[in-house]
Structure 1
């Protein structure tokens, strides 16, 4: 048996977390902690893992095929708005791991894959209470990484929410935190804001793998790349580097590849979310080089004949959306009611939907994020640890006595309270 094959077998034996091993005892899919993916990107250097929001089954198939072709470690994720209890997608927190495992075994995928619960939003005490029940249920269903997003709250409440929920997240799991809601040029994250969150977590021995910032992007399709603040991102990442935290880039769809390459080269980003672009590409809509959907003279999406779904089904989807009075940004809501109709198309149609995603994702992995050939680095990290639990990158540097709840308002003094405009900025 070749060395690489031997290493894969060993990684399969020791690298799958307990929840995954219990769910899929006979599986040959290497589903791992998000920490493993992050370590692989750090080992290569200036590499970013594609974190694909699997809004439909075809996105999952296409991204996994692309990652296998590129020999790249990858993340499949879904956000709370997309796949929580009020989901607008058929893929959700409780079935995503099952879909990934099935596709990996079907297609013979041997690269490491993390299953990430993105943007697990916390907007008040009620969300914290329900999270204490819901988060364990998600890990029971195969989640291996999570983003606690309390960025909507004031900074001290954001920190307290992260601390209160930390005990409900397995120590081996990948962990992302967030400061500053993703809402474009308004309410940009600052160095003091990020330091406050990371230092406060560090004092209580909570060591996130990633921090997401509002660095100028928005969710959904971007009209241009002008929003991404590379310098600001680099500045914040440098300030928190000693705490062992890397960056997660949100809002990549439609953005210039050159700007995304700058994020890879000049910041400590190891995870980049791609959602809306993959949805449109799987459907067969005409997009530009960056995955930004094109519109015709009347402002309508352009369906490419012979690509993606059938023309008949697209016409039905458009009529459904128009009947609801939906705008272009609302088309994401078509995912849930039409998944079964998409799955019921002829095989050649289903295959071309996934193949279109594969081609786009492969280009991102190999030409933009530079995460090609990171799968062996991820496996190496597992074998070096001899475990699914790689432990934290950081160590405690802060004094817990200086970060008690009663001291947090004092410590938060002087931090900008500008969170940008009010509204729902989830996607």
Structure 2
């Protein structure tokens, strides 16, 4: 690998001393990894302006390592995340919500990296009221395992239940932690979010003293492969963010893989988005699957992925993976399920092949952060924010505006019933 020019500065050393949240300091007492709250990452992007960072879905140790190296090259603050569907109780990845912080801590210390990293539990899905009891036990376990940020995603449920679930679960998330909420499932061009729906959620949370760092929308994109090329609707995103401006909530862009760089630049420059999730593109790059310049996998005439010889994983193992997927009836986006059964097989490859898998991810991430997201230099801004605050806890961006008496459970249900919404088709839209 190209040698990374890593020179810890006095500002970094001071931030390391005070910037790690208590759960991280307890888990890794002798660590030099600057694992921080998601709030730090969001504020660093806002302070620089017109930029966003990559939130890497670390589906494998190769992706995690490559992303961290790429962020160091860009001198950028970064988010490493795993979604509940990817790394929860029914995981399809070896990296999961309970060991992601350990992976990050080990790699950062091994390589002597100095970038600030948030550990984000993405899409912590609440799909029905019966899910709440389990969430109240499981969410604290995530923070005990080093998570520093979470997305409570109850968008699968009606608007009133989504809001009420967020209110009820907020007490299970540390006040210092990054917090993301979601309105509208990620369904592509179906069931697009509206300003009214977003305002309903954010106003209701605000009335209860809850100030999310991020809101995720269904703004026209999809998880996995970007098949239609329509992708993110920048104008809709800007309209919703402008409506939410008094509440100082930033945007989290989901389903970034495969969208054109021009569209992603517009999201960074024209909206309040500070966090952009990338999963499928990095998985494909690490494997050596042929992708276009935006990371969207290319298919042959039979609709099969094209493995590029000499890139990514060993060709023989790739053939084993394809045969395994065929036997399971997996195709397209369902290739993601190969991560768990093949992670250890991939770790047993030669050093040369493992390195080229990591290097592909590193190059992709460094270029995205610098040339598209404009997040380069935000690592040092994050140090400044921590050192100015003198703490790991940057506090809330917003303040209470709404009257709690107008947002009781009864009035929440009445308001939701009066809204005209289109949530799109039913189905499984997990990432």
Using the size of structure 1 for normalisation, the TM-score is 0.98
User: Which residue number in structure 2 is paired with residue 347 of structure 1?
Assistant: 351
| Alignment of 1:406 onto 2:410 | yes
Structure 2 unmatched ranges of 5 or more:
1-5
Once the 2 structures are TM-superposed, how far is the Cα of residue 251 of structure 1 from its aligned partner?
0.6
Q: Give the structure 1 partner of residue 299 of structure 2.
A: 295
> How many angstroms does 1:3 deviate by?
11
Distance in 2, matches of 1:258 and 1:144, equals: 31
Pair 1:388-2:392 in alignment: yes
CA contact (8 A) 1:71 1:375 kept: yes
Contact 1:54–1:77 (8 Å) recurs in 2: yes
Calculate the aligned-residue CA RMSD, in Å. Answer: 1.1
Q: 2:235 aligns to what? A: 231
Cα-to-partner distance string for 1:83-106 (whole Å, 9 max, x where unaligned): 000010111010000000000011
2:183 is aligned with 1:179: yes
| Secondary structure class of the residue paired with 2:197 | helix
Select the residue among 275, 281, 284 that pairs with 1:277.
281
Aligned: 1:64 with 2:68:
yes
1:416: Cα distance to partner?
2.7
Q: 1:415 aligns with which of 419, 423, 427?
A: 419
1:148 to 142, 146, 152: 152
State whether residues 59 and 354 of structure 1, in contact with CA within 8 Å, keep that contact through their aligned partners in structure 2: yes
Residue 246 (structure 1) aligned with residue 274 (structure 2): no
Structure 2 residue 51 is the aligned partner of structure 1 residue 50: no
* Matched residues, number: 426
- Counting only pairs closer than 5 Å after superposition, residues 5-404 of structure 1 correspond to structure 2 as 5-404=9-408
CA distance in 1, matches of 2:258, 2:235: 20
Aligned-partner Cα distance in 2 for 1:258–1:126: 42
Partners of 1:104 and 1:159 lie apart in 2 by 37
Q: Are the equivalent residues in 2 in contact too, given 1:48–1:370 (CA < 8 A)? A: yes
Asked if structure 1 preserves the Cα contact closer than 8 Å seen for 2:8 and 2:114, the reply is no
Cα–Cα, structure 1 residues 418 and 110, in superposed 2: closer, same or farther, change >3 Å?
same
Contact 1:147 1:177 in 2 (8 A): yes
User: Cα 1:377–1:172, aligned 2, differ >3 Å: closer, same or farther?
Assistant: same
Q: CA deviation at 1:223?
A: 2.0
Please state how far the C-alpha of 1:227 moved relative to its aligned partner. 2.9
8 Å contact from structure 2 (residues 101, 147) kept in 1:
yes
CA distance in 2, matches of 1:224, 1:69: 33
**Is contact 1:180–1:188 with CA below 8 Å preserved after alignment?**
yes
Q: CA deviation at 1:412?
A: 2.1
| Dislocated runs of 4+, deviation >6 Å | none
Q: Distance in 2 between matches of 1:170 and 1:298?
A: 49
SS of alignment partner, residue 244 of structure 2: helix
- Counterpart CA distance in 2 for 1:350 and 1:4 is 27
Following TM superposition, by how much is the alpha carbon of 1:327 offset from its aligned partner in structure 2, in angstroms?
1.7
Cα deviation, 1:1-24, whole Å, max 9, x if unaligned, reads: x99611111111110000000000
Q: Is the 8 A contact 1:225 1:259 kept in 2?
A: no
- TM normalised by structure 2 equals 0.97
SS of alignment partner, residue 167 of structure 1: helix
**Alpha-carbon distance in structure 2 between the residues aligned to 1:8 and 1:363:** 24
Q: Bigger CA drift: 403-412 or 105-114?
A: 403-412
Structure 1: segments with no counterpart, 5+ residues: none
What's the counterpart of residue 3 of structure 2?
Answer: none
**Alpha-carbon shift at residue 224 of structure 1 (Å):** 4.1
